[in-house]
Amino acid sequence: MLKFPPGLVYLLIKRGRLTSLDFVNSLPRSLESLHLGENSLGSLIRTDEGADVARPYKIKFPEGIHTLNLDQNRSLFTLYSSRNFAYPPGLTDLNLMQTNLSTAMGLENLPLLRVLNLGYNDMGSVDDLVIPPTLIRLTSFSLTNSGVRSLSGARFPAGLKHLKLSGNKIASLENIELPQYLETLSLQENQITSLADFDLPDSLLSLEFGSNKLTSVDGIQLPPKLNVLNLKENAINTINELQLPDSLRELYLDKQEENPLRIRASIRTRFSEPPYASVKRGLTSVAGIPKLPSQLHSLILCKNGLCEQAIEHWTFPSGLKRLYMHDNVFVNYPMWRREVRLALPNVEFDGGRESSDDDFLMMDYSDDEMY
């Protein structure tokens, strides 16, 4: 049996070969932070083959622990049952990401818990999850890439400020009541088709809906203090009515309805059409955004179907720091860019990548690492 110093406060065993939690019961009571991520907890070893090795007894962690990290032990809750975990009552930060967890049972007696990460598990739906109502101090909850199909009827802790639900299979946002003090909401990489009748709390600072199936954002009421709006990689062709709050600092609308066909300037017609002119792709009109917020410092609109005339009604804010407009259907993008640079000499264009007119027309922007 392992022996630990009696006054031990912090213990990190990461990326090792731990397969068992049996030693936990012998940890000193002084321990406050325990990190056992990226091990092989729950995995069978050779001597276990063919045997019934499920651990039926309690795994009791020292009561003084505030932070417990067991992430990326993919077989943890195959060998152990969540019912048999005796978590410290004073736990404030719990990370069970990618541990084969299927239920929140056993988490109800953690009244001081503030941060909970259950991502990369198979939860099915938040209804199945049943977030314990006793988690009254929970401020951050992550359930990313966990196979969640529906949020209908879900009830989140009233004090929740950060909610991460990206990488799931959520298609509808009907009958969802968000916490009134929520500050960040991430629903990227789902299957959401509409934001109609979806009430957003006024407290929101960051809203991420990238990589969904949205076709319109017309008329949605954005929170008055919003700083970040991410709508990239959807299917929004036109924006007819969208009032952006003046507090907005980052706006992402790139790669709308991306067409896999890469048409190079070398196949332009004899009528000198601009590249991509014969293909309607992505966002082509932003007429419904009458002006840009004065606080905006990042505007990402690349890989769409916009032309110079589509954005000529905009005045770029003096504090703009990043402007990505490449791979649209501008007649002469380098010339337009030079004109903008005269007014905004410090703005970063297209990730800092400069090019001549001919170079630009021949670029292949198939690399997703390039905006």
Per residue in 11-35, pLDDT tens?
999 998 899 998 998 999 999 999 9
Residue 36 identity (one-letter amino acid): L
Whole-angstrom distance, CA of residue 371 vs CA of residue 355: 15
Task: Compute the radius of gyration of the chain from its Cα atoms.
Answer: 25
Q: What is the DSSP string of 45-97?
A: -GGGTTS---B-S-EE--TT--EEE-TT-TTHHHHB-GGGEE--TT--EEE-T
Maximum mean pLDDT: which of 85-89, 257-261, 353-357: 85-89
Residue pair 109/136 in contact by the 8 Å Cβ criterion:
no
**Distance from C-alpha of 203 to C-alpha of 250, rounded to nearest angstrom:** 17
pLDDT tens, position by position, 132-173: 778 999 999 999 999 998 888 788 899 999 999 999 999 999
User: What pLDDT score was predicted for residue 250?
Assistant: 98
Measured CA to CA, the distance from residue 351 to residue 365 in angstroms comes to 13
- H-helix or E-strand containing 33? strand 33-35
Tell whether the model's pLDDT for residue 298 goes beyond 50.
yes
What DSSP element (H or E) covers 224? Answer: none
Asked whether residue 268 carries a pLDDT value surpassing 60, the answer given is no
Q: Tell me, what's the pLDDT at 103?
A: 80
**Taking the domains of the chain in order of start, what are their residue ranges?**
1-46+53-97
Q: Which of 148-152, 278-282, 325-329 has the lowest mean pLDDT?
A: 278-282
25 to 17, 21, 41, 61, 92: CA distances (angstroms): 19, 8, 15, 6, 20
Cα–Cα distance for residue pair 151/165, rounded to 1 Å = 10
- 328: its two tokens: 């649209």
Whole-number pLDDT of residue 107: 87
pLDDT in tens, 40-75: 998 764 444 444 445 556 899 999 999 999 999 999
Q: Pairing relation of β-strands 140-142 and 115-117?
A: parallel
Q: Which of 95, 97, 63, 99 is nearest to 81 (CA)?
A: 99
End-to-end CA, the chain: 53
User: Average of pLDDT values for 271-283?
Assistant: 55
DSSP code for 193:
-
Nearest to 131 by CA among 147, 98, 149, 153: 153
Least confident of 45-59, 99-113, 183-197, 252-266: 45-59
Which strand (E) or helix (H) includes residue 154? none
Quickly list DSSP for 252-302. E--STT--S----GGG--TT-PPTTTTS--S--B-TT--S--TT--EEE--
Question: Is the pLDDT reported for residue 190 higher than 90?
Answer: yes
Token digits of residue 325: 């407009």
Structural tokens at position 6: 């009696």
Give the pLDDT score at 1. Answer: 60
CA distance 1 to 105: 30
Query: Identity (one letter) of the amino acid at 82?
Result: S
324, two tokens: 């990505």
How many C-beta atoms lie closer than 10 Å to residue 281's C-beta?
21
